[in-house]
Amino acid sequence: MIVYLAYWAIGTQHRNAQNVLLLIASYVFYGLWDWRFLGLLVMSSFIDFIAARAIANSEKRNRQKLYLWLSIVWNLGVLFTFKYFNFFVDSFEALFGMEAGGGYTFWNVAIPLGLSFYTFQTMSYTIDVYRSRSDDPSKRFHPTKNIVEFFCFVSFFPQLVAGPIEKARHLLPQFENKRTFDLQQSKEGLRQILWGLFKKIIVAEKLGIAVTMVFNNPEGYNSITLVFALVLFCFQVYCDFSGYTDIAIGTAKLFGFKLSKNFNLPYLSKSISELWQRWHITLTRWFTDYVYIPMVQSAKKITPIRRAFGILITFTLVGFWHGANWTFIFFGMVSAATLILERLPLFRSKKTLKQKLQSVPRIFSLAYVFVIFTLLALFFRADNMSQVGIFLKRIFSFTMEGAFTTLIGYKLFYLVFILLAEMATKQYDYPLQKLELRLPRVVRWGVYYALIIFIIRYAEPKEAFIYFQF
């Protein structure tokens, strides 16, 4: 609230001062988590700012490529050092039967908050500048000369720690242009924040308590309960991450910014291919633009095998992006295998599974998508592959031994309310959008106060957003 009031008090005629305030607020926000990693954020911003300027000022393609690779090596090097170093050391020791520690000094520090998000965002900036050098000069993407604006683009606090992952072409111009105060936009921002908080605090955290209880002791529950826990986790991770996205987008609106949509009712998809176009949209788009398309188009002849190989590599990396664990790698590989199978012609048919799913009754395609995604959720949520094995063994043994519980009981009403509200208002970005056009003032404010009371009254001890760990 303090930043919001100060930001608009500065006045729309002083855009540079507003940007400085946003930059300071973003660094304070990030530094309050752990000030030691603030230097890493600043360094990544500075290196990519310089690299992009060097690419734009160089006429030789080889030199441009050198600056690009300096940016890529830095960003991927930071990711590897902080996020994946221990994973590779542990895997090396396990492969060769070495004892844990084996004389190595482990890099035993926390993963910097939002590392995977802001490194991808800033790295895409230099890649876009490099790519535009070989295109039509009229279509070139020119890097900014204003270092404050670029630093704001990288560290904008509403989406810094968990996205959406924004491209510079979309977000950077918003720092370069004048922002005008719009009361209606501020109202919309507050409504979207309120909806995101309700999804996170009332739904995701309630489901999380039940899911954690089962995953902490899978041997103690029967097959039905394990399946139920996986289903609950699917909705938990959706409400958690889409709730955060609503909060981020709503907060950005308060300051006159528009962030990219990151979720579009993914569980209403008719195929896994469609689901990945609706789930974490900005991440899927990033890997498509910077991994899949370059990999496929680099071949002299684009064949189905080449496309399948591109999907396998791309989604294995998507899984690995989520965390340094074999469970995430299998999450990506199983996703890739499903996407490849959906593109293959069915037996005695020219149609692919993906095409066939578009024509069958919707209930069957929805069931197919949710069953596959529930399996993927097991890899996503499990602590290790041993836990995955325990879950699968107990589920497919159809054992009734162990506790049977509804886990969450009447609180499932909150989840049902969320889902029905979002499906009924799917033409909007979120259910409370444009509410003044659909409900009388008394009813509208009754809805707002009811949501606020539920959030305050039934809030449990807070858990971090799931995607903060990535």
The pLDDT mean for the chain works out to 87
Whether 438 has a pLDDT exceeding 70, the answer reads: yes
Whether the per-residue pLDDT at 403 is higher than 70: the answer is no
In this predicted structure, the answer to whether residue 465 has a pLDDT above a threshold of 80 is no
Per the rule left: phi > 0, alpha: psi between -120 and 50, beta: everything else, 402 is: left
- Tell me what pLDDT residue 138 has: 62
Query: Where exactly are the structural domains of the chain?
Result: 2-181, 185-258+403-470, 264-390
Query: For the segment 341-368, what is each residue's pLDDT rounded down to a tens digit?
Result: 999 887 766 788 888 888 888 899 999 9
Q: Which residues contact 408 (CB under 8 A, 6 or more apart)?
A: 206, 207, 209, 210, 232
Range in 241-255, 374-388, 392-406 the model is least confident about: 392-406
Q: What tens digit of pLDDT does each residue of 94-113 get?
A: 666 655 444 444 455 667 88
Q: Note the pLDDT of residue 103.
A: 46
User: Which residue from 394, 386, 291, 304 is spatially nearest to 344, judged by alpha carbons?
Assistant: 304
Amino acid at 211: V
What is the pLDDT, as a whole number, of residue 388?
94
Q: Quick one: pLDDT at residue 94?
A: 62
pLDDT value at 163 more than 90: no
Distance in angstroms (rounded) separating the CA atoms of residues 317 and 270: 24
Mean pLDDT confidence for 271-287: 94
Per-residue model confidence (pLDDT) at position 293: 92
* Mean pLDDT confidence for 333-340: 95
Could you give the 3-state DSSP secondary structure of residue 31? helix
Mean pLDDT of 276-300: 92
Just list the catalytic residues: 322
Q: Is 285 exposed, middle or buried (CB count within 10 Å of its CB: 0-12, 13-18, 19+)?
A: middle
pTM of the model: 0.90
Q: Answer whether residue 410 shows pLDDT above 80.
A: no
Mapped onto helix, strand or coil, the DSSP state of residue 204 is helix
For residue 298, the model assigns a pLDDT of: 84
Number of residues that make up the chain: 470
CA distance 238 to 232: 10
pLDDT grade for 89, boundaries at 50, 70 and 90: low
**What's the pLDDT band for 461 if we cut at 50, 70, 90?**
low
Amino acid at 394: R
Dist CA 376 CA 333 (whole Å): 10
Q: Which amino acid is residue 186, in one-letter code?
A: S
